[in-house]
Structure 1
Amino acid sequence: MRNLESNLNYFKSLLQPSTKIMVMVKAYSYGMGTFEIANLLEKNNVDYLGVANTFEGAELRNVGIGLPIMVMNPEVESFDLVIKHQLNPVIFSLKSLNVFLKYIETNQHLLPIKPYPINIKIETGMNRLGFNIRDLEKVAEEIKSHPLVFVESVFSHLSAADESQFDDFTNQQIQLFHQSAKKFCSTFDYPILKHLLNSHGIVRFNNAQFDMVRLGIGIYGFSSDKETQQNLLPVSTLTSKISQFKTIPKGDTVGYGRAGKATKELSIATIPLGYADGLNRRLSNGNWSMMVNGKKAPIIGNICMDMLMLDVTGIECKAGDNVVVFGKDNTIVEMAEKLETIPYEILTTISPRVNRIFSYN
């Protein structure tokens, strides 16, 4: 947890003192554990938390998190929970705007805040969620005619801030957002926050901070920028223990499909971790090694649902010894490269049944 604070402070050092910070804690805080991370962020005075859906926001409220929580994709069927838990919804389409305004008007007696904050997302090139720029004038006038709501922020999302070959496109997105947000905000007579940059944007397009940034994967210790990565500390290590140690003779096989073959006498360690815990089955058959008492031990055979086997031949070990699935010497970045994916996917697919232990030391 101290490493997470260090990463937060590093990104703060890249920002103007007046720039607010939203930290994304969606998807179980990128697989780390929502309440513990959110609680630490609240103590470190971040300005907002960001979640994917209403359920994630409600969970944080239920465990006592009081920070403003922005819900990026609130389901129109869940607007009652948005109001109940005082969440800050993102509105990104005429449908969601109309449904929310109607709900507010019908249930204004339930409003804990009047007027109620909403956040407007603009489409600038990601082509995922957001209002088309040509609709913004209509959107602004519609909101202005409803005194029970006010625009808290307007924002968009960069689609390739980490890829230098698309820098021209990213700069176009920045300019398009700047122009459209300025015009939209001019309709209102109160200040509206503007935000665009994600973790990679903070590093590579620092002049586009606007009023707030949204810090995601960076705070969890990962950046595609090599210089930035050197300033970040790892936040997570995945460990397990040896359940059983055995010796098998030459000619025996290991695991389902007899995929692991003993070309000589081998020492095998069984680990209680499998693909149901989020360990990708493509790491089977020597495609990933785990650290056992300081030495690398390759996976032998196919990863099972709840277990896997390691070839620990020549390594002094026994049942109960610790195993590092990924950590300092076999990093999650290396695992992502093996799987031709990104650290986000690995982190967020670690099963909730895998115990999370939080340490501040």
Structure 2
Amino acid sequence: MAFSVPAIDISPYLTPSTSSADDAARAAVARDFDRACREVGFIQIHGHGVPDEVIAGLASASDAFFLGLDAEQKLAYRTPPGVNRGYSPPKSEATSLSLGVEPANKMNDFFEAFNVGLTVDDYPGADLLEEQYQANVWPDLPDFPEQVTTYLAEARRVAEVLVEISADALGLSDELVASLFDRATGTLRMNNYALTPGMQVQLDGELRGMGEHTDFGVITVLWADRVRGLQVLGTDGGWYDVSPDEGALLVNLGDVMTRWTNEHWMSTLHRVKPPVIDGTIERRRSVAYFHGSNWDTVIEPLPQLLADGEEPLYAPVSATEHIRAKLAGTRAGVLNPNAEREGARVAASR
């Protein structure tokens, strides 16, 4: 069977259910979502309700930062590896290290990125570990904070709808969902697969936009240009090109969802290999919103999702320790020792 990413219209979940017809429409969405999460782990989301002007503002902000500032100006917003905010220059990360897979050329991911996210101010008076809700670093660019935070709020809303759909598909109670997400973490990463004019980077191996990886959190909401580069690992072990449908957002599962469901739902491996045309990288933009659980959630297979006699495939780990180990790989070059199952999937790919 040919590889394809299923498309789902989630609009029935954007308004309150007031009739049996509404309930039936939602149930159909939840069934389709469950099937997609079991079979592929990547989904084309339509009917998400994000206004076109908000996406246009996000794209404008991305261009203003990545194209409007030179390399030295961007480096002024670089933060240390332990701070998941601010600027990451090309060749400063190795995404596959987050899976315990060491590439031949260690820090050679070719993308550059800018991160913002939810902060302690988003949860006044809550018990939080500030490390997981870090303050944002904003470049001195007109309209940039407003354009980015406006989209961040929309992406967060979409992610929360997807959590609701997931709960319905898995039969999870409202009380459980609230205990996992009432202080949810969230990071927005703006990616640029190109070089600022005048920036020189010496490649010491294969051009790798972003190495093989799974996402760290629960659910990822991705806006991207319709430019080739994103590749997804199929169940047959092959890599397949994926590009968003017109007007759609791409959604994929993260490691936390895989662990909660004991691999009944999979965090699909993916990578980015931007095309090179006439010796020049074709520019590609993407913006990923990574929706996580509460910082103090213990991540392990949920007992209510295990079949009789089914053994958990993962030992318990706190959400914070899980993210620390992942970021130590991507941003500090430290091989993650706690991703044996995910790393084996990379090794098995052809």
Q: Where on the TM-score scale, by shorter chain, does this alignment land: which range?
A: under 0.3
Instruction: Flag the structure with larger Rg.
Output: 1
TM-score by length of 1: 0.22
TM-score by length of 2: 0.22
Q: Which has the higher contact order (CA 8 A, sep 6+)?
A: 2
